[in-house]
Structure 1
Amino acid sequence: MRASGKNKVIITCAVTGSVHTPTMSEYLPVTPDQIAEQAIEAAQAGAAVLHLHARNPVDGSPTPSPAIFDRFVPRIAEATDAIINITTGGSTRMTLEERLAYPMAAKPELCSLNMGSMNFSFHRAARGITSWKHAWEQPYVEGSEALIFRNTFADIGHILRLLGDEHGTRFEFECYDVGHLYNLAHFVDEGLVRGPIFLQCVLGILGGLNADPENLMLMRSTADRLFGRQNYEFSVLGAGRHQMSLITMGAIMGGHVRVGLEDSLFLGPGVLAPSCAAQVLKIRRILEELSLEIATPEEARAILTTKGADKVSFNG
């Protein structure tokens, strides 16, 4: 039984992220038009939450620019009733101030929040690529081996106070390892996090827990011990080829699911996903075959207790 007493599954779609590059898939959305179109299609396909990053429209590189966000977020908000979730993670190459620039301007219903500093490497994705579309891509991907994603306790506390306490934003707490659950429990104890907690279990990133079924069970049981199952909402993200199988397992365990081209470029073995919506439709079909119901955006708002779309004003 879910913490909220509801039995519907929230589908989150992470549209573009900051890991994959244009060379890796022709379908990766990078321009404002492409990001808006794919987000709107994903919402129409059944995604109740849209998790958004921005890209430089010239070369597809990750950017924290509020001006770029403003070229697609208002369009998405106008065309859909999905919950808009803005990243506070950005990329490993952005400062905390850069990562918070647009969330502070937009004050959305929901923001992602990585629950600790960590090695976050995707350098192996460069193997086998001999020709790159843009000069920034190869050093960006290969260089991830030498970088750390920073979110100290002070950083996390700052974000919780600034966006949460002052502006009523709720959070998708991204936990890549068991230690991140304990970090989250610390902030619960400090009174900076109040339930229901939206816990996103992220497995399959080099630097965090691998995408093994046993690790998913460990994360679930640890969260139960730390928070009590009635006090949190559990969602699952499986990186790369683990996407569909792991999130299906998570849904069977009572969780919500996340798909999107940020997390995996593929629809099946060796088959690139032509859009984020294609992944949403695939997991929706799987869930419905399992007799699981899909949450609407309004049902997702009730489950996650967000402040509501009427409390957000996106400027185009």
Structure 2
Amino acid sequence: MSTNKVIITCAITGGVHTPTMSAALPVTPAEIAQASIDAAHAGAAIIHLHARRPENGAPTGDPDVFAQFLPIIKQATDAVINLTTGGSPAMRVAERLAAARRFQPEMCSLNMGSMNFAFFPAARRITQWKHDWEEGHVTGSDDNVFRNSFRDIAHILETLGGAGVKFEHECYDVGHLYNLAHFLDRGLVRPPFFVQLVFGILGGIGADPDNLLFMKQTADRLFGKDTYQWSVLAAGRQQMPFVTQAALLGGNVRVGLEDSLFIERGRLAASNAEQVVKIRRILAELGLEPATPAEARAMLGLKGGDRVGF
């Protein structure tokens, strides 16, 4: 699907980075709400959300924590709210799915395959941790297997699909595209659908320009060019270069502190909104415009913010 409009997704906090890594990382419900509102006002049409324990910033799937910020964001913005079903690699599927089942948002993320998911090299840069849980969370990721079996994926699609939830299908490698094609053939995924191509995670496909072209060409071959919208995210220093390349190729983009803590080489981002402002400026230089939330809903065939459970 070709359009001059580019959907900007902002992933606010994630479940990988820790409070020690950046003071700008939102942790409390109030911080997550404000960061989301600021990102939406800066131009993000979709806000992708995880939750954290307010007392120490550890990832949590507790719906009661999500309930402390979802209504605030909805009241203050028209942005599409996209809840994680990934949570963190350490969570069981039931925990990852709990908030989405309760709140039935317009969108959820959905990881399209099992993989090694590691970020332990980040520990080399840190000598003192703010909270006890952080060091083990990071260094122990060399043993992470992020489970997303065919049964798990089918369960999530069947559980949420009946409520009209659509998905940000996160594909970390070429095989994940074939997994998505399998579920398309089974009728559990229906056009228009949204494919998020993910680059630069240790355990997934690398952030090389040739890989971006290959992933997009593979998706076109499997799905047909007019059945889906696609977007790109890249981890760490590759974030802005890679999403810019995606925009040049007709794709949508994702930024946010979940994916990178930096705004430029050697400088931490002050906020999620700063990253949104930067990619919006780049898009303008390329002659592209950010999609509004209403335009994003139309492009993705979403049910609308009036049909969610919060």
TM-score, structure 2 length as denominator? Answer: 0.99
Output one character per residue of 1:185-227: Cα deviation in whole Å (capped at 9) or x when no partner: 0000111110112000000000000111110001000001000
Deviation at 1:128, TM superposition (A): 2.1
Q: 23, 41, 45: which is aligned to 2:42?
A: 45
Q: 165, 169, 175: which is aligned to 1:179?
A: 175
Contact 1:22 1:133 in 2 (8 A): yes
2:298 aligns to what? Answer: 302
1:80 aligns to what? Answer: 77
Deviation at 1:6, TM superposition (A): 3.0
1:60 aligns to what? Answer: 57
Contact 2:174 2:215 in 1 (8 A): yes
Matched, 1:251 2:247: yes
Structure 2: runs of 5+ lacking an equivalent:
none
Q: 243, 254, 258: which is aligned to 1:262?
A: 258
Deviation at 1:147, TM superposition (A): 1.3
Contact 1:6 1:303 in 2 (8 A): no
Letter paired with 1:20 = H
Q: Distance in 1 between matches of 2:220 and 2:301?
A: 20
Matched, 1:188 2:184: yes
Matched, 1:208 2:204: yes
Letter paired with 1:77 = K
Q: 218, 227, 231: which is aligned to 2:227?
A: 231
Letter paired with 1:211 = A
The number of equivalent residue pairs is 310
Contact 1:239 1:263 in 2 (8 A): yes
Letter paired with 1:305 = G
3-state SS of the aligned residue for 2:89?
Answer: coil
Output one character per residue of 1:138-180: Cα deviation in whole Å (capped at 9) or x when no partner: 000000110110010000001111101x111000000000000
Q: Distance in 2 between matches of 1:312 and 1:134?
A: 35
Q: Distance in 1 between matches of 2:97 and 2:196?
A: 20
CA RMSD of aligned residues (A): 0.6
Q: Distance in 2 between matches of 1:203 and 1:273?
A: 20
1:151 aligns to what? Answer: 148
Q: Which runs of 4+ in 1 moved over 6 A?
A: none
1:116 aligns to what? Answer: 113
TM-score, structure 1 length as denominator? Answer: 0.97
1:11 aligns to what? Answer: 8
Q: 21, 37, 51: which is aligned to 2:18?
A: 21
Q: Distance in 1 between matches of 2:10 and 2:172?
A: 18
Structure 1: runs of 5+ lacking an equivalent:
none
| Percent identity for Structure 1 against Structure 2 | 63
Letter paired with 1:172 = E
Contact 2:3 2:250 in 1 (8 A): no
Contact 1:9 1:251 in 2 (8 A): yes
Deviation at 1:7, TM superposition (A): 2.3
Letter paired with 1:230 = D
Deviation at 1:293, TM superposition (A): 1.1
